[in-house]
Amino acid sequence: MTIDDKIDSLLKKLEELNNEGGQWNISRETGQFLYQLILEKKPQVMMEIGASNGYSTIWQAMAARHVGAKFYTFEFVPDKVRDLVHNLQIAKLIQYVNIIPDDANKRLKHWEEKIDYVFLDGRKNEYLAQLKLLEPHLNEGALIVADNVISHKHVLEDYLYYIANDKKYKSELKDLGTGLELSYYSG
């Protein structure tokens, strides 16, 4: 895969910042995987919960641009929203992302649009509640990608139990970065 030089140098800068701590960004390997996954699945409406400074958002926005998807991302910390906007502007990807600078838990209660792809990367103890709020809006075959399922497997026990035991989901674990769980929804 080829990445624009300007975006690549921004991603490298954000990786250095992440190594210094405090950002909790996905790994480059995970970003590349999400990018390829979106190109393969071609979702029409995508959502991310937990953008932080936009490292993961950039990978997914590049893919959203490629497949022509509408992409929403939630981030509720004002300083992070500022960094997110700044980084997406540098990457020239801002026009491909609908930033919702608010609490996803609040906004999902009034959500109306159908969704094909979700990346869960906010608070780990809220994944299950968020999935349940999203469920009525998932299209058949929608893909839910949950991050940190290896690093935070104890906090995510309720989420992992739910998707493993509810027949509406078929899931697989990817041992990438902090662990990704891919779950396909069949209404």
Q: Interface residues with ligand SAM (CB under 6 A)?
A: 24-26, 50-52, 55-56, 74-77, 80, 103-105, 121-123
Minimum Å gap between C-beta 179 and ligand SAM is 13
The first and second tokens of residue 50, run together, are 């937990």
Amino acid type, 121: D
Minimum Å gap between C-beta 129 and ligand SAM is 10
Buried b / exposed e across 99-108, counting CB within 10 Å, b at 16+? bbbeebbeeb
Neighbours of 20 (CB within 10 A): 7
Minimum Å gap between C-beta 30 and ligand SAM is 8
CB-closest chain residue to ligand SAM? 50
Structural contact between residues 65 and 41, judged by C-beta atoms closer than 8 angstroms = no
Minimum Å gap between C-beta 107 and ligand SAM is 8
Q: Smaller CB distance to ligand SAM: residue 116 or 121?
A: 121
Q: Smaller CB distance to ligand SAM: residue 69 or 168?
A: 69
- What is the C-alpha end-to-end distance of the chain, expressed in Å? 33
List the Cα angle 68/186/140 in 5-degree steps.
Answer: 30
Q: Smaller CB distance to ligand SAM: residue 127 or 169?
A: 127
